[in-house]
Amino acid sequence: MIGTGITVWAAFQNFGKLNIVIALVIATIKASLVVLYFMHARYSSKRTQLVIVCSVFWLAIMLALTLSDYNTRSHEMQPGVSRLAQPASSRTFPV
């Protein structure tokens, strides 16, 4: 409830400088406020808080490992260009 004012304000801030990093940082701040206050994570038991931290941790593992895989594989195919980004006409199947 305390965070609501800031949350709505932050939603309007998105009209300003629309940089993806800024947008994601604002989104994360908003999400954290919702989790901490609306979802009462701040006042939950230690066990519940552990589950919440785990969800973020597992998500981070999934994103980090998959993205590092994609980012390193594309160089094998064609330096500097993602394999996916080659023109559809020149692509042979299976991709």
Partner 1 sequence: MHRTGELYGHFETLEQQKESSTLGMWIFLVTEVLFFGGMFLAYTINRSAFSTAFGIGSNTLDIKLGAGNTVVLIMSSLTMAMAVWSAQVGKKKLVSIFLIATLGLGTVFLGVKAIEYKQKYDHHLIPGHGFDMRYHSAHPLPGDDLKELALEKEEVETAIKSDPDINFHSQLYFSLYFGMTGLHALHMIIGAGLLLWLIKGSFAGRYTPQYNTPVEIVGLYWHFVDIVWIYLFPLLYLIDRHR
Q: Which residues bind partner 1 (CB under 8 A)?
A: 1, 4, 7-8, 11-12, 14-15, 18, 20, 23-24, 26-27, 30-31, 34-35, 37-40, 44-45, 47-48, 51-52, 54-56, 58-59, 62-63, 66-67, 70, 82, 84-85, 87-89
Shortest spacing between CB 36 and partner 1, in angstroms: 11
Q: How far apart are the first and last CA of the chain?
A: 50
Shortest spacing between CB 59 and partner 1, in angstroms: 5
According to DSSP, residue 42 is labeled: G
- For the chain, strand residue ranges (E) read none
